[in-house]
Structure 1
């Protein structure tokens, strides 16, 4: 079972990156980090963009994955522009029926839910099977000095990953038929 997590934050040292690194260490998932070496250019729809190494890497990793975790900060009631831009390079052939888990990192208070809804809408447009469970991590969920998610908050992450794995197992069985 190949799980891929996409860090949809433009910030190299932001909380979404901390969450992504922490989850990758805990669960051994592969990561596309849009804030670093995996950044893709602004989508223009021009054919030559498909030949770019960063775009080919993104496309290949998403196609090979059996399940996806999208992680994004919430910016102005939506997912980050960096994540939306990366998703614009992909199509339904990358996501059709594939299980996708959603994780938003909020600034606190009641943030995050709009980013989740925004990601869910885009995934519906790509024919993904976005799982029902979703997660918002607030600033209090992090151990900043350890570059990790606090243990009590990891219980929520565990539940998200468990549900994603359940849907991914089903996806793999159906894919075989």
Structure 2
């Protein structure tokens, strides 16, 4: 999908940060991906899980004791046509706080929607293990996991003091995740099936962040 394609694709995109740390690089990355969607005139919302009083998912059907923030989270995701998930990589996987939030949601929030992924890590290998696991979760929830994804290795040295990525190529890659989610969400929601499939087939296969 051409990164110079800047036509408007108005829709609602939410980004969920899977880190609750103050000054989180994950949250910065998700916010940057949302800016890519905003370039195409989408309404966006950054969901920072540190602002939500959630419970641990125990798999039970009784939700009578759930705090209101569980339902607030669900409603905000339901309203979106596209979702961006961001996570730090911990021990080769995605964060526990994001896992719990996903377990508190389901098909109603994700089925048939576009899903983009960004990941950060402290090590040089990037967050590919975490993002690959999230791809499987997205497919299990019947979401369309877009081909574009962005991994930020050694995030502690990639962001400057103002929270901006130093490398313009990496900045562009993260923004492109948001753009691709926005474009596919628009095409899918507008019933433009042929164009949707043609652009999907021409998209890069998991470009990630290997080339810098």
Q: TM-score, normalised by structure 2?
A: 0.74
Q: CA deviation at 1:50?
A: 7.1
Specify the structure having the higher radius of gyration (Cα): 2
Distance 1:165 1:23, change over 3 A: closer
- Secondary structure, counterpart of 2:149 in structure 1: strand
Equivalent residue number for residue 38 of structure 1? 52
Distance 1:62 1:50, change over 3 A: farther
Q: TM-score, normalised by structure 1?
A: 0.88
Output the CA distance in 1 between the equivalents of 2:82 and 2:114: 5
Equivalent residue number for residue 91 of structure 1? 106
Equivalent residue number for residue 12 of structure 2? 2
Equivalent residue number for residue 147 of structure 1? 163
Q: CA deviation at 1:161?
A: 1.8
RMSD: 2.1
- Secondary structure, counterpart of 2:190 in structure 1: helix
Unmatched segments (≥5 aa) in structure 1: none
Unmatched segments (≥5 aa) in structure 2: 1-10, 193-212
- Secondary structure, counterpart of 2:26 in structure 1: helix
Output the CA distance in 1 between the equivalents of 2:65 and 2:133: 25
Output the CA distance in 1 between the equivalents of 2:114 and 2:106: 15
- Secondary structure, counterpart of 2:63 in structure 1: helix
Q: Does 1:114 align with 2:96?
A: no
- What per-residue deviation string (whole Å, max 9, x for no partner) do you get for residues 23-49 of structure 1? 456736201111x21242211233226
Aligned length: 173
Q: Residues 1-177 of structure 1 correspond to what in structure 2 (within 5 A)?
A: 1-24=11-34, 27=38, 29-34=44-49, 36-46=50-60, 47-48=62-63, 51-138=66-153, 139=155, 140-143=157-160, 145-150=161-166, 152=168, 153-174=170-191
- Secondary structure, counterpart of 1:121 in structure 2: helix
When you count helix as a share of all residues, which structure comes out higher? 1
